[in-house]
Amino acid sequence: MTDLSQPPLSAEPAANARPAKAKSEHPANHRATIVRWLRKTHGWFGLWGAVMGLIFGVSGIWLNHRAVLKLPVAQQRINTQIALPDPVPATPEAMAAWLQQTLNTPEPATRTRVEKAKPVAWAERPAKGEGAQDGKNVDAPREPAAKPLMQPEQWTFNFGSATTQIQAEYWAGNRSVAIRQTDNGFLGTLMNLHKGVGMTVPWILLVDTLAGCLIFLSISGLWLWVMTTKRRTVGWTIFGLGSLLAIGLAISRL
């Protein structure tokens, strides 16, 4: 005979299952999950940013204060002339290829600038009779002005890497090319790495990952602060004042 006064064994677990499910869907749990994920991701991105940021932090401080504090940058400069072949390369592209082969640089020219021939302003001569102030030659016939001197076309080529920069300068009609070579020391190389001078595409993309890390760390750090801090008024005030100060200083230098 079945005792109807005793509840079924499955009734209590079934009753306890609903609160557990409701508890798991509580907004506080979702918030805690997001905070945990943000902290982990923020930490991993911060680790990569710290590796690259150490290089850019040291070089950035040096760049900011090198003019005021007259910080030295170990450099060795060499000036020389290289005779051109016969016939002389007729185009900037041909000249750049010849220079790369002659200077034995592993990479082609990073920059080529062509400045067209133009009159030399300081050498222009006024026509005869112009500007007479004594009153005797005011009505004298003026002869046409002499033809102004012309500055020949100039080609400038830049080669090199973070450790060595080479600038080649050629004036149309010359039989030689002026070469200026700069060999950087450790600090000079560090600053060139910071500025991307003479660097290849892989290095530029690597630096882009650091920039992406900084953007993500800024956004995730602000998000973490909003989600874990109750006294937000003071924080938003500091954030707003800091932003206004940075914008004001930037505008004042424009």
Per-residue pLDDT 10s for the chain (254 aa) are: 455 555 555 545 554 545 544 454 566 687 788 888 888 888 888 887 787 788 888 888 888 887 777 777 667 888 999 999 989 999 999 999 999 999 988 888 888 999 998 887 765 555 555 544 555 555 555 555 566 788 889 999 999 888 888 999 999 989 999 999 988 888 788 888 888 877 778 888 888 888 888 888 888 888 888 888 777 777 788 888 888 888 888 888 76
Same domain, 175 and 195: no
Distance CA 189, CA 182 (A): 11
> Is residue 231 one of the residues assigned to a domain?
no
Last residue of one domain, picked from the residues 164, 184, 204: 184
Cβ neighbours of residue 181 under 8 Å, at least 6 residues apart? 77, 78, 79, 80, 164, 165, 166, 167
Question: Which residues span the domain enclosing 91?
Answer: 75-118+148-184
Same domain, 192 and 165: no
Q: How many CB atoms lie within 10 A of CB 172?
A: 12
Same domain, 172 and 80: yes
* φ and ψ at residue 157, rounded to 5 degrees: -125, 140
Torsion region of 129: left, alpha or beta (phi above 0 gives left; psi -120 to 50 gives alpha): left
* E strand map for 4-102: 75-83
Residue with tokens 């920039």: 211
**Secondary structure of residue 165 in the 3-state scheme:** strand
Same domain, 170 and 212: no
Same domain, 170 and 210: no
Same domain, 161 and 97: yes
Distance CA 196, CA 190 (A): 10
Distance CA 196, CA 175 (A): 33
> Is residue 45 one of the residues assigned to a domain?
yes
* Contact criterion met (CB below 8 Å) for 226 and 232: yes
DSSP conformational letter for 121: G
Same domain, 83 and 94: yes
> Is residue 26 one of the residues assigned to a domain?
no
Reported as half-sphere exposure (CB side, CA atoms, 13 A), residue 92 has a value of: 16
> Is residue 59 one of the residues assigned to a domain?
yes
> Is residue 141 one of the residues assigned to a domain?
no
Same domain, 54 and 66: yes
Domain count for the chain, please give it.
Answer: 2
> Is residue 63 one of the residues assigned to a domain?
yes
Same domain, 44 and 61: yes
Helix (H) / strand (E) element for 164: namely: strand 164-171
Same domain, 84 and 67: no
* Contact criterion met (CB below 8 Å) for 90 and 172: no
Same domain, 86 and 178: yes
Same domain, 90 and 154: yes
pTM (two decimals):
0.56
Per-residue model confidence (pLDDT) at position 59: 84
